[in-house]
Amino acid sequence: MIYTQAVDKSDLVVQKIKEFLTSKNIQFEYLEHEPTPTSADSARVRGTKPEEGAKALIIRLSKTDTNIMLVLPGNLKIDSKKVKSVVGKDFSFEDPAVIFERYGIMIGGVPPFGNLLENEIKMLIEEKLFLNDTISFNCGKKTASIIMKASDYKNIIKDIATIGNFSKE
């Protein structure tokens, strides 16, 4: 059996996101702040509404090693039946240690860009996120956030993600 040493890649993820947005001519605000372990904490520190938060969650499909990223507004929860109907399997939240080992980031800092993680993962984006003018998210670590237009986010992920209804109130 081969054991790997997990490496913190949070600073690299922050830089990749900033470079990606800049390369797409997307205007954004970058903030450094106190650690924000919850969506409510993040909204408070950023001065934004909870529903503007783009909460990125990583799930693992049952009986597989496959991860999928779900991105929901910060005030909503996953509707397991809706997600299962799209992914075709039962699922669970991925173990935080596995997330750190595979992607080099801690839960609470997972950005809504599965395409920019070292091991790229499929994304499911809740359509209600786009009811907001702006979105905000932790961009690789719990102490760094980005605020940007929701329409810009939609434009850059629409061809690489599945946008649908995956939440419940």
Q: What is the CATH number of the domain that holds 151?
A: 3.90.960.10
Number of domains in the chain: 1
pTM for this structure?
A: 0.93
pLDDT of the residue at 120? 86
Mean pLDDT computed over 92-119: 93
User: 167 phi and psi, to 5 degrees?
Assistant: -125, 170
In a domain, residue 1? The reply is no
Question: Which residue in 143, 65, 146 sits closest to 113, CA to CA?
Answer: 146
- What is the sign of the dihedral through the CA atoms of 105, 40, 122 and 157? negative
pLDDT of the residue at 2? 46
CA 27 and chain centroid, separation: 19
In a domain, residue 17? The reply is yes
In a domain, residue 4? The reply is no
In a domain, residue 149? The reply is yes
pLDDT interval class at 121 (50, 70, 90): very high
Please answer whether residues 58 and 78 qualify as being in contact, where contact means their C-beta atoms are separated by less than 8 angstroms. no
Parent domain of 132: 10-168
pLDDT of the residue at 118? 81
Question: Which residue in 126, 128, 125, 104 sits closest to 113, CA to CA?
Answer: 125
Helices (H) and strands (E) in the chain, counts: 5, 10
In a domain, residue 107? The reply is yes
In a domain, residue 163? The reply is yes
**Residue 3: is its pLDDT beyond 70?**
no
pLDDT tens string 137-161: 999 999 999 999 999 999 999 999 9
CA distance readout (Å), 6 to 22, 75, 99, 105, 168? 29, 31, 10, 10, 34
**Residue 109: is its pLDDT beyond 80?**
yes
pLDDT tens string 30-86: 999 999 878 888 999 999 999 999 999 999 999 999 999 999 999 999 999 999 999
Q: What is the mean pLDDT of the chain?
A: 93
CA distance readout (Å), 96 to 92, 101, 117, 131? 12, 9, 15, 30
